[in-house]
Chains A and B, each alone.
Chain A
């Protein structure tokens, strides 16, 4: 079975540009998580959805970040405008409620 699929795997963009990260959760999973990982701050939970509804977005750093889940098989994390300090690895993860979570391979973002 396919795991959590993220795209793009790597992106380099200029400061001020819009960045859109995409995630396809595992089929049948009804919870989806977005994480950001940096050396300084470790693995931070940004937002999670249950049944396509955002439940906790307290980890979203600021208004430049937004996340959507229009259906059970797709989610996006958008950064507009991007800044160099947004450079990080962004992980998407999914699970069936209450069970273990499965992570994607991550999207490596560099903002120059």
Chain B
């Protein structure tokens, strides 16, 4: 079973920031948090990962709490193309149900 939990669905208005939470309370000290997304029925695509510091790349930002038990993926200006299922996962690469993000016009 996946070691992460995420809300099943979220909506976001186009152009606004989308904040997707993930709980990973059993994370061990050296485990990274990885985020992927799956658009329609394509293979999941890597977004970002981090250990304990906040991370940013061209796609998103990742905020990890100080106790590392949860994290938030931030899409700063969501577009319709960001509609997808978003997964957070740890080292074991087991995926939970993810969060279905719907970006609305």
Binding site for B on A (CB under 8 A): 4, 33, 35, 42-45, 48, 89, 91, 93, 98, 100-106
Contact = CB atoms under 8 A, between A and B. Distances in A.
18 contacts: A33-B93, A42-B95, A42-B97, A43-B44, A43-B95, A44-B95, A45-B92, A45-B95, A91-B43, A91-B44, A93-B93, A98-B91, A101-B46, A103-B43, A104-B43, A105-B42, A106-B42, A106-B43
The binding surface of chain A is classed by DSSP as: strand
Which of B87, B91, B93, B98 counts the most A-chain CB atoms under 10 A from its CB? Answer: B93
Contacts, number: 40
Chain B, interface size category, equals 10 to 19
Contacts of B26: none
Interface of B: 34, 38, 41-46, 49, 87, 91-98
